[in-house]
């Protein structure tokens, strides 16, 4: 995982990445779990439920590049298959894609597991 990113952003950039992960996770859970309960068609809900489950990993910052790419692909599929307004799926796909490209930041499980280790002498 460390090979994917040169560093794990700390300070204000790391806080911004944390806010991005929190916002994306809240929206994915809302539109993947809460919104589909008002609809009667179960087949399109499967992709949204998978996206909501991936939101938990994204919120924790665990396997962020893989989870972000998965969210981006799922939300593009949902946007293409949606009959109504696809823009929330486009926004969620963008948030997932940017999380996959930028990385999780210093305040994540990925940073604790795969970040640079400080050697004490």
Tens of pLDDT, residues 32-83: 777 666 655 555 678 888 888 999 999 999 999 999 999 999 999 888 887 7
Range of the domain at 77: 25-114
Q: Is residue 95 part of a domain?
A: yes
CA distance 99 to 87: 18
Cα separation of the two ends of the chain: 26
Would you state the structure tokens that stand for residue 13, as one six-digit string? 């950039």
Q: How many domains does the chain fold into?
A: 1
Q: Is residue 20 part of a domain?
A: no
Q: What is the pTM of this model?
A: 0.83
Strand, coil or helix: 105:
coil
């Amino acid at each position: 995982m460390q090979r994917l990113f040169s560093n794990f952003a700390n300070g204000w950039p790391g806080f911004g990445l944390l806010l991005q992960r929190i916002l994306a996770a809240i929206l994915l859970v809302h539109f993947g779990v809460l919104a589909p309960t008002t609809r009667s068609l179960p087949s399109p809900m499967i992709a949204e439920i998978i996206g909501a489950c991936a939101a938990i990993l994204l919120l924790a910052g665990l396997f962020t590049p893989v989870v972000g790419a998965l969210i981006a692909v799922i939300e593009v599929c949902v946007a293409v298959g949606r009959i109504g307004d696809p823009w929330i799926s486009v926004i969620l796909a963008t948030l997932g894609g940017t999380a996959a490209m930028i990385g999780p930041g210093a305040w994540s499980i990925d940073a604790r597991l795969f970040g640079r280790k400080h050697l004490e002498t």
